[in-house]
Chains A and B, each alone.
Chain A
């Protein structure tokens, strides 16, 4: 699918409802459609043309344009093309037809839009509250521009979402809000019959920090990379990198090639440490603590290396709009080579041992199954998709930074289970090492940061997708006034992957649930990045008590 073909196809389907289509280069098409035809357009792009649904964003543009802007993003991975579908929803009737019946993976994004901007998705199969806390009053929408980042509305429990109906004869096992193997707050209510899972419900978004709100109301372009980096505690560099690339694309800033290479090195360093961390955590979840300790031991020199290169072991603080802040010096190359060689040696031993380990494969095999069809419907990403035979890898499909000049091999497995996802991550680790080596070899000399002399004009758009260790991290920036974005939308990969959990755990036994959830490498902070919260300890207690009650009424 080229940009013209997509435009052509869409014009045939919805005719004049396609108000505007503006390709930008070969890789992006910005379209504006009549909101009445949004379902038809989504159906055409997703079902007929085979595009992948990425995310939905809504923006409050009432002040200047008298409307809400609802944007659906689609991707054509084989053709390196992103399609951006804008629809202007009038402010006096903020409603748009829901695309969730057509694309199940859009469920959360549309609920989030309802929660935060008050744009109703008409016909949504599950319109319960998703993002806002239980005690948030109804009718207050924190991402609207007339809501200040400092506002604290009165608490009210009217809008609290109800748990889905519990199947007959099932027990509710609460996995969360605090659970030993989930290292962040989240809450799965798992319905079990005996030991077999018959259903589940999710209530999360406990980590809301209002980051998107801050980005469009308080911070400036070059302050955001540092808060973007703190969206996630493991793949933070991915977010700051994606944000900077989105702004650079919007403003047309040419980043020096050397900076691209340095970003690539750090992206891969991050993938390395993340996959090692995951392998350890997965071991810990199934009770194999030696695997946990040993992979984390292997990982530690990598953290020290990052500390030396960037100034910090995890939140590198390297990215800034226009390039990077610190150069990777020639004299550090031997140290990098040595750390990589050590890891490669030990990792190879581990990689060889896992398939032959009968207890390990017995625990991981045939659990958490997600079929290729489900992957496509739920829009799963990263190792989850690649473990089920999907080949999406943004590094190859939509090359960014220096990946267009590097050799990246995709790691795809077709086991569809937790074991397959484990193998994907095990195999990706040596690939990351080889990419860093290629970078060190090919890195050109030159500047590391583009000089930005003019203010970034408002109204420009840029998108960036980065292959995080967990899948595609997607950022969209709409530039605004006062030296800050008008809207900055972040979609972390776990946002898509978490929606697949209920499909994955159904039919498994309870013992497999922690490792099934763990096999996503879930990152709740990434997912929960937004909205403004008023944390009241009292409300948390209500939640727990309710769950305790449910778990007692067996």
Chain B
């Protein structure tokens, strides 16, 4: 294969990265607005997250410690999330499906989460390290749910690539996997009731508490982007038919963005407005239960 034959793939991947980078703050802004509406408030304008990011990026770069994890953590985290965004399906052709499959994808997301935890551990403040240890615990509970529910599709299609998984049949096991994924979505995006890592009123921001300026901006941006790709993955893998049902939106990629916004508002936005934050042990129990359900679905699909 020549370099030229890779160009379309790279083009699509870069396009998707750019899309996620640009749209993710809007998603956050809309969730904030919905929350404000439920709280009888006026709320900030929906482009507020862009302004926040711009302000933080323009600030002086202060560092609390010289640890390379804190220095390189935020860009690595954002990069890992963006590469994951580049290799996942988003309505168009699936880029790089042959070289980058589900395992790579989950590995990239885990890398991002671990980087966040690492930043928390290395700053040395009590709040940061407690937040970091919580982040690791939450990851241990959430990642199995994510992996098992996606594995159900992989099992059914017999392929670990996204292109293969898109072809998976839509049966009862897939529905169970979809439900567990949806119920765990709040956990993946770390919003109330699962914002245990940051827990402003307990840990004053957890791993983020020692970050400031551009580093905080990049970390925030990565978190916004994470929120977008988790939602987008649900639309693509579990509701692939939506891409064909709404042809009047023209590009499927646009349809995907619109659906992600709707999904996040209805699920993430509402859930975070009407729940208190859970305690770590309660969140872990919730994660275990979902992982159990997903495992049953996996066994069922294996038996099919």
> Measuring CB to CB, which residues of chain A are less than 8 angstroms from any residue of chain B?
171-174, 179-181, 192, 195, 283-291, 293-294, 297, 359-360, 362-363, 509-514, 548, 551-552, 554
Chain B residues closer than 8 Å to A511, beta-carbon distance: 196, 199, 202, 277, 279-280
Which residue of chain A has its CB nearest to the CB of B283? A511
A473–B296 Cα gap in the complex (Å)? 59
Chain B residues closer than 8 Å to A509, beta-carbon distance: 279-281
Chain B residues closer than 8 Å to A174, beta-carbon distance: 126
- Known interface pairs A285-B201, A294-B40; A195-B280 also in contact (CB < 8 Å): yes
Contact A362 B126 (CB under 8 A): no
A511–B195 Cα gap in the complex (Å)? 12
Q: Which 6 A-B pairs have the closest CB atoms?
A: A287-B277, A293-B39, A288-B276, A551-B126, A286-B276, A181-B201
B192 within 8 A of A: yes
Contact B279 A514 (CB under 8 A): no
> Measuring CB to CB, which residues of chain B are less than 8 angstroms from any residue of chain A?
35, 38-41, 124-127, 129-130, 192-193, 195-196, 199-202, 204, 273-282
A180–B200 Cα gap in the complex (Å)? 7
Contact A172 B278 (CB under 8 A): no
Chain B residues closer than 8 Å to A294, beta-carbon distance: 39-40
Chain A residues closer than 8 Å to B196, beta-carbon distance: 511
Chain A residues closer than 8 Å to B193, beta-carbon distance: 287, 359
- How distant is A285 from chain B, measured CB to nearest CB, in Å? 5
- How distant is B131 from chain A, measured CB to nearest CB, in Å? 11
Contact B277 A363 (CB under 8 A): yes
| Most chain A beta carbons < 10 A, residue from B41, B274, B276 | B276
A79–B273 Cα gap in the complex (Å)? 48
A129–B160 Cα gap in the complex (Å)? 66
Chain A residues closer than 8 Å to B130, beta-carbon distance: 171, 173, 192, 195, 510
Which residue of chain A has its CB nearest to the CB of B196? A511
- Known interface pairs A294-B39, A510-B202, A511-B199; A363-B124 also in contact (CB < 8 Å): no
A290–B277 Cα gap in the complex (Å)? 12
Contact A290 B273 (CB under 8 A): yes
- How distant is A243 from chain B, measured CB to nearest CB, in Å? 35
Beyond A289-B192, A511-B196, A511-B279, 20 additional pairs, beta carbon < 8 A? A171-B126, A171-B130, A173-B126, A173-B127, A180-B201, A286-B201, A286-B277, A287-B193, A287-B277, A288-B275, A290-B273, A293-B41, A359-B276, A362-B279, A509-B281, A511-B202, A511-B280, A548-B125, A554-B124, A554-B129
Chain A residues closer than 8 Å to B280, beta-carbon distance: 195, 509, 511
- How distant is B127 from chain A, measured CB to nearest CB, in Å? 7
- How distant is A458 from chain B, measured CB to nearest CB, in Å? 50
Select B278's contact among A289, A293, A297, A363, beta carbons within 8 Å: A363
A550–B196 Cα gap in the complex (Å)? 24
A288–B40 Cα gap in the complex (Å)? 14
Contact B129 A514 (CB under 8 A): no
9 CB-based A-B contacts, threshold 8 Å: A171-B130, A173-B127, A285-B201, A286-B201, A287-B201, A288-B276, A293-B41, A294-B39, A363-B278
Contact B204 A180 (CB under 8 A): yes
Contact A514 B201 (CB under 8 A): yes
A173–B130 Cα gap in the complex (Å)? 9
A94–B279 Cα gap in the complex (Å)? 50
- How distant is A368 from chain B, measured CB to nearest CB, in Å? 13
Chain B residues closer than 8 Å to A551, beta-carbon distance: 125-126
Contact A293 B195 (CB under 8 A): no
Contact A293 B40 (CB under 8 A): yes
Contact B126 A554 (CB under 8 A): yes
Chain A residues closer than 8 Å to B192, beta-carbon distance: 287-289
Chain B residues closer than 8 Å to A192, beta-carbon distance: 130
- How distant is A530 from chain B, measured CB to nearest CB, in Å? 30
Chain B residues closer than 8 Å to A291, beta-carbon distance: 276
- How distant is B124 from chain A, measured CB to nearest CB, in Å? 5
Which residue of chain B has its CB nearest to the CB of A509? B279
- How distant is A99 from chain B, measured CB to nearest CB, in Å? 37
- How distant is B120 from chain A, measured CB to nearest CB, in Å? 13
A174–B38 Cα gap in the complex (Å)? 34
A534–B136 Cα gap in the complex (Å)? 45
- How distant is B31 from chain A, measured CB to nearest CB, in Å? 13
Chain B residues closer than 8 Å to A363, beta-carbon distance: 276-279, 282
Which residue of chain B has its CB nearest to the CB of A361? B276
- Known interface pairs A173-B130, A180-B204, A510-B130; A290-B274 also in contact (CB < 8 Å): yes
- How distant is B33 from chain A, measured CB to nearest CB, in Å? 14
A318–B64 Cα gap in the complex (Å)? 51
- How distant is A352 from chain B, measured CB to nearest CB, in Å? 15
Contact B41 A514 (CB under 8 A): no
- How distant is A293 from chain B, measured CB to nearest CB, in Å? 4
- How distant is A12 from chain B, measured CB to nearest CB, in Å? 53
